[in-house]
Chain A
Amino acid sequence: MSLRRRNFASTAAIYAMLSPTFGLLAVFSLVPFVWAFVTSFYDYEVGGESRFVGIDNYVEYLHDPTLLPSFANLLFLTVFGLLIVSTVPLAVAKLIFCLKSERARYLYRVLFLIPIVVPGVAGMMIWQGMIYNDTGLLNETLRLFGREDLTRGWLSDPRTVLWAVVFMGFPFAGGINILIYYAGLAGISESIHEAAELDGARGMTKFLKVDVPLVMSQVKLLTILTVIGTVQGFEGMFILTKGGPGFKTMVPGLWMYMNAFSFQRMGYACAIGVILFLLILSLTVLNMRYFRSSEELKAEGA
């Protein structure tokens, strides 16, 4: 009896220790999660009455004028982001990895990490005010070379605005992605490289045939993160363009935000949020299922 009571007491203690975690998750994660779905079936304005409208919000979104341009932009941003994240940081990581001096390798990794200290909002406004501005770096450089004719408002010209948005952060080498790839490269054992060299693999061939397949688990991680981040992300558009000119840089997330906080249409905004959630969920599942990481390939080969 005493033993059982002690077990009971320790079980109670265990649940008590877990209670902050589950309390916080229930109040600040679970409630908003459930509420998102519920609200999406209502016509709801803050301060006004809420009215059950069934799937009307979803049906309306199918006919929304921003639907096509915003998903086309999203596709463009995702493809561009995936191309960048799977090439530039990997190449830079490999270049650093090829250096002979241990100290130089460390120094470059630290230096490429420096941009993370700049707050994201500041980084975007620096590109807006310093590079794309009328008297910014881009236009002034063109003037320096006597090409006044090419200068423009990069963020207001409908022909350049989307490119201006994706090129923010050029040459895309700063931040932790290099470190993630570097860790992957460092995890490849020396014997694999020696074996490849015995088979006559050199330089680029060796990189593509040996290194790239073996950092696939890092590529997979960054691919998932990029897709999730791009589908959700609209801070850049919010700060730089507000989706304009026209709907040239509109993305679904920004339209959701504007419906909620500019037009006070909370139910409609939640419906857009639910659609984005389902999109992210299915893309993540697809990625997990069909994109084999190196460990999974190894396990299958064995």
Chain B
Amino acid sequence: MRRHWDQVVLHAVLILILSLTLAPFVFVIDNSMRTNSEMNHSFFGLPKLGHQLFAGYAYAWEVLRPYTLNTIFVCVVTGIGVVLVGSVSAYVFSRCRFAGRNTLFLAVLAFMMIPGVLTLVPSFLWVKKLGLLNSHWVLILPYLAGGQVFAIFLFKSFFDGLPGELFESARMDGAGHLTLYWNVVLPLSKSVIAVVAIVNILGTWNNFLWPFITNSDSKYHVISSGLYLMNRSNVSSNFATMFAAYVLASIPLLILFLYATKPFMQGVTSGAFKA
């Protein structure tokens, strides 16, 4: 009987913490469907059915649609690039013998020690000199360069753990490295690919400062920089529109999350995250 009550208390505490965690988002959804005057009249209240509940959403979507498409494009290209470049290099480091292998691998890992705060300003000056400002490439190429390092690390530790016999028997059948990589290793790596892709998409989706300083042309804004500029424009005086924009900006990742909960949780729980 005591055990039973322990469980009830655990649930109660967890539900309390969870409610506090999610409360701001509940208020956001609630107030995205209320007008300014309703909100000023009483902060705590539910949307009134009937009149234009989704007016804020319609307007916010008009502003956000191009930014959303830009972000998705950059995320997809970066994600595919990081998975391809990262897995090929990791395969080479894991399965090929060549002069300088360890040195080169350590050199790659050393790049993890360079903090973004050091390179933010010179990177900006450099891409400006390269003429990349106001393009999708100014986001994709640096994200690829930075994102691949952690991907190589994760892929390599996974490839190192694959049984050696697998490769020997495939080699006996006359398979070259390309066949091994494409037909044997990649199909076995779906879970790691999912983790690498998701970590990258989250990073790209959330990055704010870099897109904000490199793309002044609104044609190339992404969600983060777009939301920030929206909040500073006169749109922000209409609370419902801003709150609707926050909700809309969260939906793509929510869909990804619902679709990929399992691989994501497995990835984090796999033991790659410890020091």
Q: Which A residues are within 8 Å of any B CB, using their own CB?
A: 10-11, 13-15, 17-18, 20-22, 24-25, 27-29, 31-33, 35-36, 39, 46, 92, 95-96, 98-100, 104, 108-122, 125-127, 129-131, 135-137, 140, 144, 170-171, 173-174, 176, 179-180, 182-184, 186-187, 217-218, 220-221, 224, 228, 231-232, 235, 238-239, 253, 256-257, 260-261, 266, 269-270, 273-274, 276-277, 280-281, 284, 288, 293
Q: Which of B98, B213, B246, B253 contacts A14 (CB 8 A)?
A: B98
Interface string of B192-230 (1 = CB under 8 A from A): 000000000010011011000100000000011001100
Closest 5 A/B residue pairs (Cβ): A28-B145, A35-B122, A140-B43, A24-B145, A221-B275
A39-B125, A260-B124 known; A126+B246 contact, CB < 8 A: yes
Contact B21 A176 (CB under 8 A): no
Identify the closest chain B residue to A268 (Cβ).
B121
Task: Determine how close the nearest CB of chain B comes to the CB of A273; give it in whole angstroms.
Answer: 5
Report the separation of the CA atoms of residues A46 and B128 in the bound assembly, to the nearest whole angstrom.
10
Contact A32 B227 (CB under 8 A): no
> How many A-B residue contacts, CB cutoff 8 Å?
253
Contacts of B17 in A (CB 8 A): 92, 171, 173
Contacts of A131 in B (CB 8 A): 24
Contact A33 B21 (CB under 8 A): no
Contact A116 B202 (CB under 8 A): yes
Q: Which B residues are within 8 Å of any A CB, using their own CB?
A: 6-7, 10-11, 13-14, 17-18, 20-22, 24-25, 27-28, 31, 39-40, 43-44, 85-86, 88-89, 91-92, 96, 98-99, 104, 108, 111, 113-126, 128, 141-142, 144-146, 148-149, 152, 177, 202, 205-206, 208-209, 213, 223-224, 227-228, 231, 236, 239, 242-243, 245-246, 249-250, 253-254, 256-257, 261, 264-265, 268-271, 273-275
Contacts of A14 in B (CB 8 A): 92, 96, 98
Report the separation of the CA atoms of residues A33 and B111 in the bound assembly, to the nearest whole angstrom.
10
Contacts of A288 in B (CB 8 A): 275
Contacts of A32 in B (CB 8 A): 119, 122-123, 126
Q: Which of B20, B28, B104, B125 contacts A171 (CB 8 A)?
A: B20
Q: List 6 A-B contacts (CB under 8 A).
A: A11-B99, A21-B85, A21-B148, A95-B10, A96-B14, A114-B257
Contacts of B275 in A (CB 8 A): 217, 220-221, 224, 288, 293
